[in-house]
């Protein structure tokens, strides 16, 4: 037993794992694994490394998605509506103030020689329209002056007896008739309506003015021509008088012609100005018809006429 066995009989003297290349590969692999385990331990995760999600957030909302901003048109429209409301409120206050003033005053003051109605541009017409109404009143006064001058021109021609002016008596008679009839007609057909239109802001009165003042403008330029037997001391009569050396009546006819033309131009200017105001205020023809029907419905004469017509129709059917 003194001979001790120092080696295993099963040991292979040539160990394949003792190959230097295999040993170096195993050592390098083991080093990599140990380094990875030291850098990222499986049991030591930091909770703060995860992204914290708040429970209050809407899961359907996204920080990347935002609704488009509202356009500025809404604010502009809102401001326009507020401006319109302020204008309507101011207009209503003006109307109420004028109505109170209308109820307070009772004394007629026009015409001064024989007052039959009340006219006061400062008290009854809004301040922004007083200049326009005042110039329309001056237009009407210029029309009266023109009619007077036209009559005296025709009268002077009649007394002068020009040989080539055979229509002098007719001209004088027509001019005298127009002096009275056209004075009243012009006041009640176009000046009084436009006065009420600016005072009450009423479409119906504006339409009255547009219709009758339109005829007035045509009549003005027609009289400026001076056609014989029409009562107009105009251009045709003016040329005839100067050619025959009737200087006195010719000069008066020249002044009448200038008045006709000046008044026609002035009438066109303020007709256009009134029409622009009518359109800017938003008035329409349908509004004018509604106001006319309402006005006729409030009229006692119209109601009585309608009742009488209905009664007569029912009686005839029986």
Quick: pLDDT tens for 214-249. Answer: 999 999 999 999 999 999 999 999 999 999 999 999
Per-residue pLDDT of the chain (318 residues; tens, 9 = 90+): 444 444 445 454 555 555 565 556 556 556 555 555 555 444 444 444 444 445 555 555 544 444 455 557 778 888 888 888 888 888 777 777 766 665 565 688 888 888 889 999 998 999 999 999 999 999 999 999 999 999 999 999 999 888 888 889 999 999 999 999 999 999 999 999 999 999 988 889 999 999 999 999 999 999 999 999 999 999 999 999 999 999 999 999 999 999 999 999 999 999 999 999 999 988 887 877 777 666 666 656 555 655 566 666 666 666
- 61 by Cβ neighbours in 10 Å (0-12 / 13-18 / 19+) ranks as exposed
The DSSP result for 107-140, as a single string, is ---BSSSS--B---HHHHS-GGGHHHHHHHHHHH
The pLDDT score that the predictor gives to residue 63 is: 47
Q: How far apart are alpha carbons 182 and 147 in whole angstroms?
A: 8
Best CA proximity match to 275, nearest among 206, 212, 186, 187: 206
Q: What is the 3-state secondary structure (H, E, C) of 162-176?
A: CCCCCCHHHHHHHHH
Give the pLDDT of residue 288. Answer: 72
pLDDT at 283: 84
Cis bond before residue 264 (omega within 30° of 0): no
The answer for residues whose C-beta is within 8 angstroms of residue 242's C-beta and 6 or more apart is: 250
pTM of the predicted model as reported, rounded to 2 decimal places: 0.63
Give domain limits for the chain. 129-299
- Whole-number pLDDT of residue 94: 75
Contacts of 234 (CB under 8 A, 6+ apart): 223, 224, 225, 226, 227, 253, 256, 257, 260
Question: How much of the chain is helix, strand and coil, in % rounded to 5?
Answer: 70, 0, 30
């Amino acid at each position: 037993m003194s001979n001790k066995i120092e080696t295993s009989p099963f040991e292979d003297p040539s160990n394949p794992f003792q190959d230097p290349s295999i040993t170096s590969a195993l050592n390098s692999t083991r080093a990599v694994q140990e380094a990875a385990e030291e850098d990222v331990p499986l049991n030591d995760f930091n909770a703060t490394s995860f992204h914290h999600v708040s429970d209050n957030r809407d899961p359907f909302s996204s920080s990347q998605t935002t609704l488009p901003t509202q356009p500025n048109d809404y604010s502009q429209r809102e401001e326009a509506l507020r401006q319109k409301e302020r204008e309507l409120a101011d207009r209503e206050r003006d109307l109420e103030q004028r109505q109170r003033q209308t109820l307070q005053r009772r004394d007629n003051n026009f015409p001064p020689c024989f007052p039959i109605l009340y006219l006061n541009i400062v008290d009854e017409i809004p301040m922004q329209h007083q200049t326009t109404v005042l110039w329309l009143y001056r237009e009407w006064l210029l029309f009266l002056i023109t009619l007077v001058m036209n009559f005296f021109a025709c009268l002077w021609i009649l007394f002068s007896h020009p040989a080539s002016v055979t229509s002098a008596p007719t001209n004088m008679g027509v001019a005298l008739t127009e002096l009275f009839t056209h004075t009243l007609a012009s006041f009640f057909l176009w000046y009084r309506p436009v006065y009420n239109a600016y005072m009450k802001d009423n479409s119906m009165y504006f339409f009255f003015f547009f219709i009758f003042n339109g005829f007035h403008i045509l009549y003005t330029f027609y009289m400026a021509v001076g056609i014989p037997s029409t009562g107009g001391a105009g251009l045709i009569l003016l040329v005839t008088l100067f050619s025959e050396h009737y200087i006195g009546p010719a000069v008066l006819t020249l002044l009448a012609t200038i008045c006709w033309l000046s008044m026609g131009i002035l009438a066109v200017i303020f007709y256009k100005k009134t029409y622009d105001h009518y359109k800017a205020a938003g008035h329409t023809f349908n509004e004018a018809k509604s106001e006319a029907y309402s006005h006729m419905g409030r009229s006692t004469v119209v109601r009585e006429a309608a009742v009488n017509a209905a009664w007569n129709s029912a009686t005839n059917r029986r």
